[in-house]
Structure 1
């Protein structure tokens, strides 16, 4: 019961965050010209899936710059998930799933759901292990990259400003790790289970299928309830970009 109460508080904090930033956003409406915080945590929500009180269920939690010395910004990470824009000459509205594990996992699930293995034999394979022309592979994978972009850009999300030094012991890493562990249903009694038609049920990773999240790391860990106090302070310090 403690986990359910903590989840209720977590979602109440997300509701407060949504009020502060004018509601959940979508990447298809975001640009780098917005006044993004340099660093933060982001929470993607599942459109059409709600828990109690019409709250959208969380589908992924992420952050950035958890390696000491990293200069990656919050927008850099979100842009990588979103993919290329309309102005990309070669592959408009495509993307690079080898630079975004979120894109990679969504693409894997689409391949499994629709039986597209022969169409995308190298999806998720590192370049160093592919003995074909990279340009040809990118052209081949472009239709699926577009589908992944469409899927991710339609996911509502909320950004939380949390600006501390990059590193594995940062507050951002703490919030990400423990929020995922709190939300995960992996190998435990399910709370707020996913809809039967959730794309992630076709994921190659059992951790994705059973956790209910587009996350693999931390879904099998025990969460620290102190994450809620830390998240609350971060929410209070978040303003609209």
Structure 2
């Protein structure tokens, strides 16, 4: 019961966060001109998929950024990587670079598995260093799938928590991200908030994604520290909407 109680508290904090920022956003409606906090943690929600016996949208990914000491990556920088390219991209508008966003990579991978597109995208999971073909050719071939990934991710509602501390492996952002993932994950524990049969992540090649119910693979099999909820509550109280 302790985990369920902690999950209920976690989602109550998200409800408070919704009220503070005026509701979740979608990437399709966001720009870098909005007054985003420099650093923070974000959670993506699955549209139309709610928690067990509630109306709360279920969290499907938790993330942060600038976890290496000295990193200058901002919150919007990371969200923009998930968003992909805009309409002004001359070569690949509304595409993206899944090699710069693990979230994009995993979603594309699941689409490949669901629709048996392996022959169409043989290099999707390969690093550039292991691909012995012209990069522009590979980008052109992968463009259609990158567009599908962009369309999927830009419809996922998300919330963000302002948490501005120095980059590093021991930052509060890492602490909150790691423990939130461990709390939400169903790996190796009783299933709470079961995932809908139609959730795209069920087609993932990653057992961690399929069993956790999250687009995360790190920390899904770890034990969470319930004290992280106190730090999350403090951060929620300090988060304001971007103008």
The normalised TM-score by structure 2 is 0.99
Q: CA RMSD for the aligned pairs?
A: 0.5
2:54 aligned counterpart, secondary structure:
helix
1:229 is matched with 230
1:137 is matched with 138
Residues 40-189 of structure 1: pairs in structure 2 closer than 5 A:
40-51=40-51, 52-189=53-190
Q: What is the number of residues matched between the two proteins?
A: 241
2:21 is matched with 21
1:37 is matched with 37
Post-superposition shift, 1:53?
3.3
2:58 aligned counterpart, secondary structure:
strand
2:7 is matched with 7
Post-superposition, which runs of at least 4 consecutive aligned residues in structure 1 deviate over 2 A?
none
| Distance in structure 1 (CA, Å) of the matches to 2:186 and 2:237 | 28
| Distance in structure 2 (CA, Å) of the matches to 1:188 and 1:140 | 40
Post-superposition shift, 1:188?
1.2
1:145-184: CA deviation from partner (whole Å, max 9, x where unpaired): 0000000000000010000000000000000000000000
Post-superposition shift, 1:187?
1.7
| Runs of 5+ unmatched residues, structure 1 | none
1:85 aligned counterpart, secondary structure:
coil
Post-superposition shift, 1:124?
1.8
* Contact 1:97–1:124 under 8 Å retained in 2: no
1:118 aligned counterpart, secondary structure:
coil
1:198-236: CA deviation from partner (whole Å, max 9, x where unpaired): 000000100000000000000000000011000000000
| Distance in structure 1 (CA, Å) of the matches to 2:96 and 2:146 | 6
Residues 181-200 of structure 1: pairs in structure 2 closer than 5 A:
181-200=182-201
1:75-107: CA deviation from partner (whole Å, max 9, x where unpaired): 000000010001110000000000000000000
* Contact 1:48–1:56 under 8 Å retained in 2: yes
| Distance in structure 2 (CA, Å) of the matches to 1:121 and 1:138 | 12
| Runs of 5+ unmatched residues, structure 2 | none
| Distance in structure 1 (CA, Å) of the matches to 2:141 and 2:87 | 19
